[in-house]
A and B are shown apart, each in its own frame.
Chain A
Amino acid sequence: MPIQVLMPALSPTMEKGNLSKWLKKEGEAIKSGDVIAEIETDKATMEVEATDEGTLGKILIPEGTADVAVNTPIATILADGESAADLGKAAAPAAETKAAQSAPPAAAEAPPAVAAPQSVAEPDPEVPVGTEMVTQTIREALRDAMAEEMRRDGDVFIMGEEVAEYQGAYKVTQGLLQEFGARRVMDTPITEHGFAGIGVGAAMAGLKPIVEFMTFNFAMQAIDQIINSAAKTLYMSGGQMGCSIVFRGPNGAAARVAAQHSQDYSSWYSHIPGLKVVAPYSAADAKGLLKAAIRDPNPVIFLENEVLYGHSGEVPKLDDYIIPIGKARIARAGKDVSIIAWSNGMTYALKAADELAKEGIEAEVIDLRTLRPMDTDTIIASVKKTGRAVTVEEGWAQSGVGAEIAARIMEHAFDYLDAPVTRVSGKDVPMPYAANLEKLSLPSVAEVVQAAKSVCYR
């Protein structure tokens, strides 16, 4: 049966075009791939190639015709052994016209509303009475978490700059090379983009890499691989191929290292579906959450803080101390105002709570611990109790995590609020070097106290 050639769409948006020129005449032989006509779209003149073989039987749309709608038959091709007498039987290529003309199955109708799944946070593990508590620095807690997971699972390895021979730029990987050898503790060249991509590739092949960035400032070189490759592949593959990987390192302001080495990426990564984002404050959480992150089948951004590395805390001496990702912690109970912070923001929040207590204000301090998925339930339960909320972050306010928390409180606890949610954040400037300006640019205990008093109308 003769085959109809249809007016093709030649761009994602084309609906009609001008048939500017025929390059084959009726009766001429046509091979697959031959250019048979030229079509002018709103953007350019394009060539139409034949995809079938035979003879050009009849031109249905003469050259010079303007505004020919996509899918209009423009010519007929006769197959071997057919003649002009067969033209009447012309059919468009198989089932295609039908399908193209009728709307694709569900697209045209308004789809039924689909609710986004809510993440349900698991509670912290029970720490049995009498469990021995070990005082550790956060640095040691992180090291122990990695060592324990590497002992447990041969697919876990660490790669990054100075993680092996040098024992870690911030000594977080101290001793790992000695215990696990160079195969599993790999020094990389200073090529964040490249080694992040290599780590993601290894994860796609089923390994569980821990990729250390000397600081998250340098991970900007690698952010394409983190977002476009690690975070999106599970979805793009329809669930077929995931990426179990941890990207970790110090995030946020250090001290006197100026704008390019002092930035908080909390909100950047928490924006991305497909990533989990963890930012612990205490030593116990650092250990329990890093172990959870390494075991998680998804890509996890693990934001540490250089200022906190040397801080000590009590860590339960348990064989397998895992803090579930996605669960906030009430660090201090109170009834008058909820202060929500994470990572080093907790330093300001807890000190502010002490100050506020002296003035008779009982602040409830929530350590968010995980930024994505965010434990909205804990925040909302607290705000329903206190009626007031203050967020604390070192990052900039615009599109920050505090802005997200404020929006969620408005969505879920608007009627419970006795005052507008107030944000304490880094100031809207690149980090200055001078000691006095640097201090001014960061949140302070005084600012948190001020904000809390303000929402309490005191």
Chain B
Amino acid sequence: MAAPKKTAAKEQGQDRDNGPPPEFTREQELAALRDMLLIRRFEEKAGQLYGMGAIGGFCHLYIGQEAVVVGMQMALKPGDQVITGYRDHGHMLATGMDAKGVMAELTGRRGGYSKGKGGSMHMFSMEKNFFGGHGIVGAQVSLGTGLALANRYRGNDSVSVAYFGDGAANQGQVYESFNMAELWKLPVIYVIENNRYAMGTAVSRASAQTDFSKRGISFNIPGEQVDGMDVRAVKAAGEKAVAWCREGKGPFILEMQTYRYRGHSMSDPAKYRTREEVEKVRHDQDPIEQVRNRLLAAKVTEQDLKAIDADVRKIVNEAADFAQADPEPDVAELYTDVYR
């Protein structure tokens, strides 16, 4: 399959600015680099811990898609809410949740965000306005629309962001939610992370309309295709969508064209795509390399970048150490938190 077509949106007549994304300041580049590196190193470490049996069950890694959450988060302000599916570690780190608490949840320990009761797919932080962490494909779309309903009900100007994949985009409740969101002009941004495969099924084999930015057309919801590998493009599109929502104009759809380097979950042999395809995206479009190269061109030294990487690795290693040393939940926790 071809790399994401950058001109697709234009051909399809969507409302999209096709110019190059606005440049970042050096500070923004460095912040984006650091945040994306944190996610990548965290996920690499999670994969390693999974391989050693320290993490159980399902574990869905976000490697390759880092620019999407990092760019979107740069477009949000405190009070805005985030909700996503089960490929959620990146979203948690991007909202500022502590790497230790996330990793300890992956290992099922008491210091995890859900005291070890949720696992990889179920973490929440009221403090960071992160609403999960949902394992049923598409459920977070209705829930995220409900967060927006609460914002409108309260008359605040917060926006909710509901992330979901190209696979979830075919679920019925997504369209039920689209309908109500536009009908009631709810401030929700639907971020469709099109990583081109729903588990092992390529988009073209599962979707009659593969331009996901058009999925809101019958509800009059505007949509854009975005180069989800370029954090600047993501931020710019996010800001536009946020402004639309804050102005009370209703929901907005952003199709982020991105790519997942790893398998769907840890036990995915990935026979549905070639190694060359993965390598090509990594080589040509890697979201982190893009920022690194721009920074190097702007005379930031390799040494400076290594220092950032070392800093991030330290955070991740400390998280991994904590996540393995922390005790499992007390057995008395079995029956707590069923009811309030």
Q: Which residues from chain A sit less than 8 Å from chain B, CB to CB? A: 6-12, 14, 32-33, 35, 41, 43-47, 49, 51, 70-71, 93-97, 99-100, 104-107, 111-112, 114-117, 157, 183, 188-189, 191, 193-207, 224-225, 228-229, 233-242, 273-274, 276, 297-298
Top 3 A-B pairs, shortest CB-CB distance: A201-B146, A197-B142, A194-B176
Asked if B270 CB lies within 8 Å of chain A CBs, one says: yes
A362 → B minimal CB distance (Å): 37
A229 touches B139 (CB 8 A): yes
Contacting pair B179 A240 (CB below 8 A)? no
Point out the residues of chain A lying under 8 angstroms from B115, CB to CB: 238-239
A-B contact count (CB 8 A): 239
Contact in complex: A235, B153 (CB < 8 Å): no
Interface stretch of the complex, out of B208-216, B251-259, B322-330: B322-330
Chain B residues at the A interface, C-beta cutoff of 8 Å: 44-45, 47-54, 56-58, 63, 81, 83, 107-108, 112-118, 122-126, 131-136, 139, 141-151, 153, 172-173, 175-177, 179-180, 183, 261-263, 266-267, 269-271, 275, 282, 317, 320-321, 324-325, 327-328, 331-332, 334-340
Picked from B52, B139, B149, B179, the residue with its CB within 8 Å of the CB of A8 is B52
Q: Which B-chain residue is minimally distant from A97 (CB atoms)? A: B52
Task: Knowing that A8-B50, A229-B139 touch, tell me 15 more A-B residue pairs with CB under 8 angstroms.
Answer: A8-B48, A9-B51, A11-B267, A44-B267, A99-B324, A114-B332, A189-B183, A201-B144, A201-B149, A201-B150, A202-B149, A204-B131, A228-B139, A238-B114, A239-B340
B116 touches A202 (CB 8 A): no
* Contact partner, B54, options A44, A100, A111, Cβ 8 Å: A100
Shortest Cβ distance from B330 into A: residue? A106
A200–B140 alpha-carbon span in the complex (Å)? 10
15 CB contacts below 8 A, A to B, read A9-B50, A9-B52, A43-B269, A95-B320, A114-B332, A191-B173, A194-B173, A199-B146, A204-B143, A224-B136, A229-B143, A238-B114, A238-B115, A274-B338, A298-B339
CB pair A205–B151 under 8 Å, yes or no, is: yes
A96 touches B48 (CB 8 A): yes
A43 B267 Cβ-Cβ under 8 A: yes
Task: Tell me if A236 and B126 are in contact (CB < 8 A).
Answer: no
Complex contacts, A189 vs chain B, CB 8 Å? 176, 179-180, 183
Determine the main DSSP class of A at the interface with B. loop
Q: Contact partner of A238 among B83, B118, B328, CB < 8 A?
A: B118
Residue contact A49 to B47, C-beta cutoff 8 Å: yes
Given contacts A183-B153, A236-B117, contact A33 B49 (CB under 8 A): no
In the assembled complex, how far is the CB of residue B215 from the closest CB belonging to chain A, in whole angstroms? Answer: 15
With known contacts A9-B51, A96-B49, A241-B124, A197–B177 Cβ distance under 8 A = yes
* Residues in chain A near residue B114, CB distance under 8 A: 236-238, 240
Which A residues are in CB contact (< 8 Å) with B267?
Answer: 10-12, 14, 41, 43-44, 46
Note all chain A residues with C-beta closer than 8 A to B177.
194, 197-198
- Do the beta carbons of A195 and B176 come within 8 Å of each other? yes
CA separation between A104 and B126, bound complex, in Å? 29
Contact: A99 with B54, CB < 8 Å?
A: yes
**B179 with A194: CB separation less than 8 A:** yes
Interface centre among B124, B143, B337 (most CB of A within 10 A): B143
Q: Is A198 in contact with B146, judged by CB distance below 8 angstroms?
A: yes
